[in-house]
Chains A and B, each alone.
Chain A
């Protein structure tokens, strides 16, 4: 019986996993896997092999190509193996039912298929670590990670591949500028997706709001070394500090939605910290007359200017 594609992929994975540490050549793989022996002409076999490699990589089997020392550019001498460097679950670590439940919630929280598929595959593999009772899923709390920005997917991919990216970025009231960035991580801050990465012009880590990216993400061939946890950690702390120093004083109308939302104390005055004035202005406009900005003036101007534009656009003649 002819081997199906899944059977061929499985046999190829097994052959690669069972391979010695220096890998196997394409020819050896062709001989090992039945599907290739039945495969036909050398040119179509090569194409089939390329497709299989791409498919395995897409489903998380990290195939490494090792060039031959004699002729590093000659693909016929390349050797293949499964990379051990990506991530291995600590040997002594056993998942508890509670942890498995959390991983399950995490994997299911993704609304974007580009993230939910690898997360679900990872769960399959993690479940292979051992048979454990899964806690009954109470299902009463359901987080949703929504990523609708078109730049989310290419950025997530570039982060995983450690590939430098280039995009046009526009801050409010400024012209778009071209940025070259080593993308480190994506996270959601106050409801916004924010990219942290090393800005090559500034030579320092910077934060980019995905909604302000105005061009498609161009992924470059240029790869970089993964940032250390210290580098990421200090950039995160810096952002915290920055936000803590940005303070706004607000006056809230008693019993208005704004007062309910912010939970204002006596006198209706509160002070809050924020990451970005434009984003806060957006939020405040929504409360209409329920909130007034006492300071800073910059914020109060942003709120008012936005409302004036809205009024102008919607006034009817």
Chain B
């Protein structure tokens, strides 16, 4: 995590957190504090200065006394005057933000059995969320991938979104969980770049003895999962309110803007027009392709094929 210098608001939060810790401990070095709070030493210095300057004018004393001799040696030692001994407790918002995310983590197979997480949930008094059955084989595939991550190459049979099966060799780097899907981010030895793979579209994962390649270790993983790739095709869409979520799943070339109440228009970029059908058809009419004609046709064909299967029986 990068060390950052904090804005005013965060300086305040850092200052009260530093006070809380230093009052509990013997003197700590600036360096230790910076590492602990994951900020720069400069940020620690600013926070301690702000603390030492805080004073009660009514009683003509500062709230804390900084040991200046220790400070010159790079150490932070504070003592409190009067009744002030603890930082403010967590607010409801802060508790809610952490508790919701912990609850979210506990729903993932990765953490479901984690005893440390269970203990944290008890402390935050979260109530277990309804466990709804998961569909899909991703859980099984995760097991193998987890042992390979960052270490060994895998060979998988992969079904791409056009329905073609390919055999891929991948150096697995990271697993991302987004909405309700697992993705493997890994160095693809077919394309010689980092690619995203849906884990539920993998079968027969074979752990190879080859260690992952240096170029894979050096590769940068884009934080934006759906970043546009070179060969892209622009499609303009109209959606209703809730189906606007389709725009978050693609690189957007024109962000959705509201046409009239409950109608949105924008453009996305896709790698391959043949893969568009499924993404649009799932919304059952709530997303319409405005153009180009080729994209409309791909969607119509997808729906037609899917319907044919229903009527044949």
A residues neighboring B (CB under 8 Å): 3-7, 9-11, 13-15, 17-18, 20, 28, 31-34, 37, 55, 57, 59-62, 82, 84, 86-90, 93, 96, 98-99, 102-103, 105-107, 109-110, 115-116, 118-131, 134, 137-146, 148, 156-157, 159-161, 185-192, 211-212, 214, 229, 232-233, 236-237, 239-240, 243-244, 256-257, 260-263, 272-273, 275, 281-283, 285-289, 292, 300, 302-316
Q: Which residue in A3, A6, A105 is a CB contact (below 8 Å) of B8?
A: A6
A289 touches B309 (CB 8 A): yes
Q: Chain A residues with Cβ under 8 A from B306's Cβ? A: 285, 288-289, 307
B136 touches A86 (CB 8 A): no
Q: Chain B residues with Cβ under 8 A from A281's Cβ? A: 284
B residues neighboring A (CB under 8 Å): 1, 8-21, 24-25, 28, 32, 36-37, 50-51, 53-59, 63-64, 82-84, 86-98, 100-105, 107-108, 110-111, 114, 116-117, 119-120, 123, 125, 127-137, 140, 146, 149-150, 159, 163, 173-181, 200-203, 241-242, 245, 248, 262, 277-285, 288-289, 293, 296-297, 299-300, 302-310, 313
A31 touches B100 (CB 8 A): no
B278 touches A286 (CB 8 A): yes
The complex places the Cα of A5 from the Cα of B9 at a distance, in Å, of: 10
The complex places the Cα of A315 from the Cα of B298 at a distance, in Å, of: 10
B12 touches A311 (CB 8 A): no
Q: Chain A residues with Cβ under 8 A from B159's Cβ? A: 257, 260
Q: Which residue in B1, B20, B123, B288 is a CB contact (below 8 Å) of A125?
A: B20
Q: List 25 A-B contacts (CB under 8 A).
A: A10-B15, A10-B51, A14-B54, A14-B64, A17-B88, A32-B58, A89-B89, A107-B98, A125-B17, A128-B19, A141-B177, A142-B174, A144-B176, A148-B245, A185-B127, A260-B137, A262-B137, A281-B284, A283-B282, A286-B281, A307-B303, A311-B304, A314-B303, A316-B296, A316-B300
The complex places the Cα of A33 from the Cα of B62 at a distance, in Å, of: 10
Q: Chain A residues with Cβ under 8 A from B83's Cβ? A: 18, 20
Q: Which residue in B94, B128, B174, B284 is a CB contact (below 8 Å) of A285?
A: B284
The complex places the Cα of A110 from the Cα of B313 at a distance, in Å, of: 46
Please provide the 10 A-B residue pairs with the shortest distance between their CB atoms, ordered closest to farther. A306-B284, A191-B180, A309-B285, A128-B20, A122-B94, A106-B101, A60-B91, A263-B137, A289-B309, A211-B242
Q: Which residue in A99, A121, A282 is a CB contact (below 8 Å) of B13?
A: A121
The residue on A at minimum CB distance from B309 is A289
The complex places the Cα of A272 from the Cα of B127 at a distance, in Å, of: 25
Closest Cβ of chain A to B9, distance in Å, is: 6
Q: Which residue in B12, B21, B123, B297 is a CB contact (below 8 Å) of A10?
A: B12
A243 touches B130 (CB 8 A): yes
A118 touches B94 (CB 8 A): yes
B12 touches A6 (CB 8 A): yes
A143 touches B17 (CB 8 A): no
Closest Cβ of chain B to A216, distance in Å, is: 11
The complex places the Cα of A96 from the Cα of B128 at a distance, in Å, of: 22
The residue on B at minimum CB distance from A110 is B101
Q: Select the residue from A61, A93, A140 with max chain B CB neighbours within 10 A.
A: A140
Closest Cβ of chain B to A32, distance in Å, is: 4
Q: Chain B residues with Cβ under 8 A from A314's Cβ? A: 280, 288-289, 296-297, 299-300, 303
* New contact pairs (13) apart from A6-B11, A17-B86, A86-B91, CB-CB < 8 Å: A14-B84, A18-B82, A34-B55, A93-B123, A123-B98, A124-B10, A131-B25, A144-B176, A145-B101, A236-B129, A240-B131, A243-B132, A307-B310
A10 touches B87 (CB 8 A): no
A272 touches B133 (CB 8 A): yes
Q: Chain A residues with Cβ under 8 A from B133's Cβ? A: 243-244, 272-273
Q: Which residue in B9, B20, B86, B281 is a CB contact (below 8 Å) of A307?
A: B281
Q: Which residue in A6, A87, A232, A286 is a CB contact (below 8 Å) of B91?
A: A87
A263 touches B8 (CB 8 A): no
The complex places the Cα of A59 from the Cα of B133 at a distance, in Å, of: 38
Q: Chain B residues with Cβ under 8 A from A185's Cβ? A: 100, 127
Assuming the contacts A7-B50, A87-B95, A98-B116, asked whether A236 and B127 have C-beta atoms less than 8 A apart, the reply is yes
